[in-house]
Structure formats: structure tokens, C-alpha cells
Amino acid sequence: MGTSIAAVSVEAAQFLDRMDPALFGDPPAGHFWLEHLVRVLSESTPERRYPWRLFAGGQQEGGPYTALYAISLETGYALFHATDLDTGARLLSWALDHQPPSKVLSTYHAMQYALEAGQLQTRVTRDHRELFLSLAPGELAIEPDWEYRLATEADVPRLAQYNQLYNQERQTNWTRDWRQSVAQGIVYVRERAGEITSCLMRGAVLTPRVSLGGTFTFPQYRGQGEATMLVANVCAEMALFGYEVCLISDDDNLPALRVYAKVGFTPKGLYRTTYFRPPS
């Protein structure tokens, strides 16, 4: 058995060859969003590179990687998971000093152990429990009305308003290239009299699962079922392709949780979003 390493920079394909398979088990034990990222990166080409770096922890001399930390070089957003909790704690401690994130989406217990074992709690500025929710085909609790559509380039100004209001309300700094997202066909909207009332986005796809996120209703249309029907319609569309729909929601975001409960989503476990202060 080789000696343990805190962190090593890896390419996605290299990581997939040497990882502990349990890292990418079924969610929430596995990290659905991290797996999606790694598989996308493993298929990148010199013409299409992505601004992410991967750092693995585990054993040298051919042993398996049992922890992974991925960070966007553009935004500082990071993803983290570990099956060996001690290795994960060493990797996260190293990352906070050498590749510091603005925030980290992780599996719940890997982050909890790393914070305690590495005595990292003093570096946390915010910490959110994220409920992992799932809806399988056939479990939709609301009849769709099919009154929704994909966003178009003409909607970009309204989507920018959505982005700004969402960040203000949820105290986050999430952002998108809306023209690119519209071109990818991943932004769904619902409207009344030609004005968008609610929005959401399709995220990671790993058969048989697809994720949704960023559900939002503009303030003047709240309490009228707009988000509920948009979510129901998109879930009905995903069911046509046999997808189980999954998502995460802050456990204090009660309006969103009420929407998901009405549609038929069931809580399955916990993830975690943790914000860190930069190193001094």
C-alpha cells in the first residue's frame, strides 16, 4: 500500500481510471453533480476546454483516489466528496490554503467530518443544509397543463432580472451566460400576457437522472401557482424520456420546498453548501 497524499492535480479521465467507485454511487451517498462534471470534463477536447481543475486525494503508487475536490477557476465555486473521510479532510484543508473556494457543494457527512477533523469551522462564513429531493416517472402529483416553453434570446433581459433578484433573495452570487444557456435549451419559463412569471433551469444529466435548479417566481406573481405548474410541466416532459428528476434546495427555503412537495418530490437525503472566507 502506498503512502497517503493530501492532494494531486488530476485530469478527469485519469481520475475515472483510478477512483474508488463508491465516490459516484447513487445519490445522495454519491455526488451526482460532481460525477456529472467529471464525466463532461473527461470528454473535453483541445478546442473545448472547461475552466475547472481537479484535485484528488488517496494513495500513491497506483492506489485508488478516495476524495475529489473540483474548483472553477472563473467563479471559485467548488465541489467536494470523499469516501475515505480522513483523506477528504486532508484534501479540503489543503484546498482551502492552495485553491481556496468561494463556496463548496459537498456530500453532507464528508464536509462535516472535514470541518471537525481539520478544525476548519472558523473559516466558514455560511453553511446550508441542502435537501436532496427526487421525483421518479409516474410520481407526479399535479396534472401538467403544458403551458410553458424554452426561453429564447429575446428573453435574456428578463432572465438577467431573474438572476439579480434570485441572488438578492438567496444571498448568493450565482450567475450565467444567459445567451449561451438559452442556446443550449436548458432554460424553461412560464408567462402571462407575454411576461415571464417564473423560471427554472435544467442542470446535470446522468441517465437515468436529470437535475433542475434555480426555480424562481417574480414577486408580483407569487402565490398564484406559477412555479408549481412550471416545475410540474418540466417534470412531465422529463418523464416522457424516462428520467427521474432530482434537485437540491436549502432546507430553509420554505416557498421552494412547498412547491416541490406539491409536485410530488420526496426528500431522500442531504447535501451541503458551505461558504469560506479567503485565507489571510
The pLDDT of residue 279 is: 84
CA proximity to 265, closest of 134, 141, 143? 134
Instruction: Mark the ranges of the chain whose per-residue pLDDT is less than 50.
Output: 1-2
pLDDT tens for 151-179 read 999 999 999 999 999 999 988 888 889 99
pLDDT tens for 225-259 read 999 999 999 999 999 999 999 999 999 999 999 99
C-alpha cell at 103: 463556496
SS3 at position 231: helix
pLDDT tens for 3-19 read 567 899 999 999 999 99
CB neighbourhood size of 8 (10 A)? 15
∠ CA 95-96-99, rounded to 5°: 55
Domains of the chain as residue ranges with CATH: 4-119 (3.40.630), 149-269 (3.40.630.30)
User: Which residues lie below 8 Å from residue 14, measured CB to CB, with a gap of 6+?
Assistant: none
Instruction: Please answer whether residues 242 and 137 qualify as being in contact, where contact means their C-beta atoms are separated by less than 8 angstroms.
Output: yes
The pLDDT of residue 1 is: 39
The answer to pTM > 0.85 is yes
The pLDDT of residue 50 is: 85
